[in-house]
Amino acid sequence: MDIPEPERICLDLRTEYWDDARARAAFKTFISNIHGLDFSAWDEGGFWDPAYTPFSFFRGDTVVSSVCIYLLDVVINGEKTCLAQISGVGTLPGWRRRGLSRELTELGLARARNKHNGIFLFADADAVPYYGRCGFSPIDEFIETTQVTPVPNCGGLIKLDPGLPQDLEMIHEYAKRRTSVSDRFGVLNDKLLMFHVLYRLRDRIYRIPDLDCLVSYARTGDKLSVFDIVAENMPRFEKLYPYLASADDRIVEFHFSTDKLELLKPQRKPLTGNNPMIRGVFPVEAPVFPYSSRA
Ligand SMILES: CC(C)(COP(=O)(O)OP(=O)(O)OC[C@H]1O[C@@H](n2cnc3c(N)ncnc32)[C@H](O)[C@@H]1OP(=O)(O)O)[C@@H](O)C(=O)NCCC(=O)NCCS
């Protein structure tokens, strides 16, 4: 449905407004209202990323609809390239079903054309039909797993606390000089990694000085889930595992492709629940989306 002209005239289309403190605050309020996510920790930590570009309709000082295009520096099959992730999508309830979100998506993607090699997003379950109407299709996502025979833990793992300025700074230093977690598919944006460090991975960041790396993992029963390894020189799994080992471990799952870990026979397993979707050709077949690629 088209918006009647007088209402439409009230909407200002804005992009690249992060330097405007009022507009940025309005965006943060919008995201908090739509997604229940408070970006303040990311912002105040100094990790707000200009590569995360908003396309928003404002009514006065209020964002009524918005879409962000996040240009990610990635490594795919050994080559550095770029992907566009669509994120921060929403329209205020009173403004829905008027074509605003689609218009912003098309505009953002048109601006980003020629700057990337593929488009993807992770949809909330309720938003999958909407993205379908906008030309996106689901893509299967995988994780990798391996069986382990427990080995004695060798010690030497230090838990970091992103709430402490010195730990946060150290994590960011690692993030800036990291190489890709995988040659097959890895993401390099340090500021996006810092988002995960401050939110989803906050209690799961460890440093292994012997291997000069950070590792993020969690354990449930006999399963060890490894979310990311942040290093200039990725250790082989055989070297890494003694630092993480527990007597109960039977299986390790990896939320990234394990080519650099030199596992003997990694298995692939479908991962459900994140609803990844793509538009057009995506350059990675049967992708293991790196955990820290999600914006
Ligand atoms: C999903 C959302 C962004 C859609 O915004 P919107 O401005 O209403 O979308 P549009 O009007 O541009 O819709 C484009 C098309 O999708 C359809 N559509 C919109 N919402 C839909 C829904 N929930 N289910 C099915 N189709 C939907 C529209 O009817 C339109 O279809 P058309 O091809 O017949 O014209 C909005 O409902 C929202 O903010 N939801 C809550 C937050 C959310 O889910 N964000 C995405 C998280 S990944």
> What is the pLDDT at residue 288?
98
How many angstroms does the Cα of residue 87 sit away from the middle of ligand 1? 14
Q: Which of 96, 98, 103, 131, when mutated, tests ligand 1's pocket best, judged by the most ligand atoms within 8 Å of its CB?
A: 96
Distances from the Cα of 217 to the Cαs of 96, 147, 174, in angstroms?
39, 16, 16
* 4 confidence band (pLDDT: 50, 70, 90): low
7, pLDDT greater than 80: no
For residues 241 and 149, membership in a common domain is answered with yes
Instruction: Express each pLDDT in 60-69 by its tens digit.
Output: 999 999 999 9
- Strand-pair partners of 38: none
Binding-site residues, ligand 1, Cβ < 6 A: 34, 65, 89-91, 96-102, 123-124, 126-127, 129-130, 133-134
Separation CA 229–CA 205 (nearest Å):
10
How many angstroms does the Cα of residue 101 sit away from the middle of ligand 1? 7
Separation CA 231–CA 178 (nearest Å):
5
Residue nearest to atom 46 of ligand 1 (CA): 89
For residues 126 and 210, membership in a common domain is answered with no
Cβ atoms of residues 147 and 111 within 8 Å = no
The alpha carbon torsion through 152, 157, 162, 168 (nearest 10 deg) reads: -150
What are the structure tokens assigned to 264, written together?
């003997």
Instruction: Express each pLDDT in 108-125 by its tens digit.
Output: 999 999 999 999 999 999
DSSP code at position 95: G
Write down the mean pLDDT value for the chain.
Answer: 96
Q: Which helix (H) or strand (E) holds 197?
A: helix 190-198
Separation CA 5–CA 9 (nearest Å):
6
For residues 20 and 115, membership in a common domain is answered with yes
Cβ neighbours for 289, distance < 8 A, ≥ 6 positions apart: 120, 122, 141, 185, 255, 274, 276
For residues 130 and 30, membership in a common domain is answered with yes
The answer to whether residue 280 is domain-embedded is no
46, pLDDT greater than 80: yes
Report the pLDDT averaged over residues 136-156.
96
Report the pLDDT averaged over residues 2-25.
86
Report the pLDDT averaged over residues 31-51.
96
Q: What is the CATH number of the domain that holds 253?
A: 3.40.630
For residues 253 and 154, membership in a common domain is answered with yes
1, pLDDT greater than 70: no
Q: 52-64: buried (b, 16+ CB within 10 Å) or exposed (e) per residue?
A: bbbbbbbeeeebb
What are the structure tokens assigned to 204, written together?
């799961």
Closest-lying ligand 1 atom to the alpha carbon of residue 97: 11
For residues 50 and 172, membership in a common domain is answered with no
Instruction: Express each pLDDT in 197-237 by its tens digit.
Output: 999 999 999 999 999 999 999 999 999 999 999 999 999 99
Separation CA 234–CA 228 (nearest Å):
11
> What is the pLDDT at residue 150?
85
> What is the pLDDT at residue 2?
59
Cβ atoms of residues 243 and 208 within 8 Å = yes
Instruction: Express each pLDDT in 14-29 by its tens digit.
Output: 999 999 999 999 999 9
Domain total of the chain: 2
The answer to whether residue 250 is domain-embedded is yes
Closest-lying ligand 1 atom to the alpha carbon of residue 34: 42
For residues 16 and 93, membership in a common domain is answered with yes
How many angstroms does the Cα of residue 100 sit away from the middle of ligand 1? 9
Residue nearest to atom 40 of ligand 1 (CA): 90
* 9 confidence band (pLDDT: 50, 70, 90): confident
φ and ψ at residue 125, rounded to 5 degrees: -55, -40
For residues 88 and 171, membership in a common domain is answered with no
* 3 confidence band (pLDDT: 50, 70, 90): low
**Strands (DSSP E) found in the chain:** 11-15, 52-59, 62-76, 79-91, 119-122, 137-138, 141-147, 158-159, 185-187, 205-208, 213-220, 223-231, 251-254, 267-271, 276-279
Q: Which residue has the tokens 């479908």?
A: 270
The answer to whether residue 179 is domain-embedded is yes
How many angstroms does the Cα of residue 152 sit away from the middle of ligand 1? 52
Range of the domain at 209: 143-271+285-293
